[in-house]
Homo-oligomer: A and B are copies of this chain.
Amino acid sequence: VTEDQHEELTLDRIQAAAGRLAGVAHRTPLLTSRTLDAIVGAPVLLKAEMFQRGGSFKFRGAYNRLSQLTAAERASGVVAYSSGNHGGAVALAAKLLGIRALVVSPATGSAAKLAAIEEYGAELHRYDPATQRREEVAAALAEAQGLTTIRPFDDYEVMAGQGTAGLELSAQAGQGGPELVLLPVGGGGLAAGVSTAVKALHPAADVIGVEPAGADDTRRSLRAGHRVTIEDPATIADGLRSQQPGLHTFPINAKLLADIVTVDEESIVAAMRFALTRLKIVVEPSGAVPLAALLSGAVRAAGRRTVVVLSGGNVDPVVLASLLQGRAVSDLYTETPSAR
């Protein structure tokens, strides 16, 4: 990653990404709920990225990155490593651009998410997570076949694309813009992109990242002042099981985030249930994490115009059914959905 150390993430770059995404990505709505406002004691606006193409914000970054490949890179194709939304987003973006895509996925991955990747026309390359590291599998394939690796977050064009959600919510929040923005933090791409856009447009707004308590690598890293690795992130929020913040995302988030808070697993499930039963929307565990911070009281928003980024809605129907039935959270996240 040495070659792009001089790069930086700017509002201009995010605006350029928005131009590439215009007419391709959805401008997702901000949803509101009187019930939620009453609970929180503030006007809450929910950025509904489950309505984004591919079902999550990931499409924004993947398409922005892929649309800038050279003709030679397009002709050779791309490789991504992901068992989830990034894989689906790269597959969809590649399909729209007529680029061959190969997605490296664990053999134990969610059957539903892997099926979505194949439905978008990407080739799946399975590996055994017990004996292989996905980065190495992808690197070997890239080397052998001349593919460009599309990293899930630690890439300025991916961050810029993801930051377009921040441009949109800033404009949609109405006069004065957002006063508080809550978003989930995994590798930190969404947080870096959105916080760059929001802080450039509304410097007084606070952007707060939320992590599952069992996958709080960014919170620990911010406290330590450098990137810390956690060995075994454990959470149902499968999109947030990062072991450490990104090399490029971390300094941006260290500078721009007002705070990182954590939520427990029960709060995440409660937020998903609230979304289903009261808001009538499907939010995946990772997407429910910032809503959990509001509902559990981990973040106090009283009186502040608050935007919550619901980052996606791709959840295995079997997992969704389990949590609706009130199964223990520990059963949910140790379960391998593909084994059903």
* Shortest Cβ distance from A278 into B: residue: B55
Residue of A277, A280, A325 with most partner-chain B CB within 10 A: A280
Per-residue B-contact encoding for A146-183, CB less than 8 Å = 1, 0 else? 00000000000000000000000000000000000000
Q: Is A313 an interface residue (CB 8 A)?
A: yes
Interchain nearest-CB distance for A247 vs B (Å): 33
Query: Given known contacts A29-B29, A50-B280, A280-B282, is B34 in contact with A317 (CB within 8 Å)?
Result: no
Question: Bound state CA distance, A280 and B34, in angstroms?
Answer: 20
* Shortest Cβ distance from A317 into B: residue: B324
Cβ A324 vs Cβ B313 within 8 A: no
**Chain B residues positioned under 8 Å from A29 (CB to CB):** 29
Interchain nearest-CB distance for A55 vs B (Å): 7
Query: Given known contacts A50-B280, A280-B282, A282-B280, is B324 in contact with A320 (CB within 8 Å)?
Result: yes
Q: Is A248 an interface residue (CB 8 A)?
A: no
Cβ A317 vs Cβ B280 within 8 A: no
**Chain B residues positioned under 8 Å from A55 (CB to CB):** 280
Interchain nearest-CB distance for A301 vs B (Å): 22
Query: Given known contacts A321-B321, A324-B318, is B281 in contact with A280 (CB within 8 Å)?
Result: yes
Question: Bound state CA distance, A4 and B200, in angstroms?
Answer: 62
Q: Is A69 an interface residue (CB 8 A)?
A: no
Find residues 21-65 in chain A having any chain B CB closer than 8 Å to their own CB.
Answer: 29, 31, 34, 50-51, 53, 55
B53, B282, B318: which contacts A276 (Cβ < 8 A)?
B282
Query: Given known contacts A29-B29, A34-B53, A53-B34, is B324 in contact with A277 (CB within 8 Å)?
Result: no
Interchain nearest-CB distance for A58 vs B (Å): 14
Q: Is A273 an interface residue (CB 8 A)?
A: yes
Per-residue B-contact encoding for A261-287, CB less than 8 Å = 1, 0 else? 000000000000100110011110000
Find residues 301-329 in chain A having any chain B CB closer than 8 Å to their own CB.
Answer: 313, 317-318, 320-322, 324-325
Per-residue B-contact encoding for A75-86, CB less than 8 Å = 1, 0 else? 000000000000
Interchain nearest-CB distance for A87 vs B (Å): 17
* Shortest Cβ distance from A283 into B: residue: B280
Contacts A280-B283, A320-B324 known; list 6 others, CB within 8 Å.
Answer: A50-B280, A280-B282, A280-B313, A317-B324, A321-B322, A324-B324
A residues apposed to B, CB below 8 Å: 29, 31, 34, 50-51, 53, 55, 112, 273, 276-277, 280-283, 313, 317-318, 320-322, 324-325
Contact sample, A vs B, 27 pairs, CB 8 Å cutoff: A34-B53, A50-B280, A51-B280, A55-B280, A112-B277, A273-B317, A276-B282, A276-B317, A276-B320, A277-B282, A277-B317, A280-B281, A280-B282, A280-B313, A281-B281, A281-B282, A282-B282, A317-B324, A317-B325, A318-B324, A320-B321, A320-B324, A321-B321, A321-B322, A321-B324, A321-B325, A324-B324
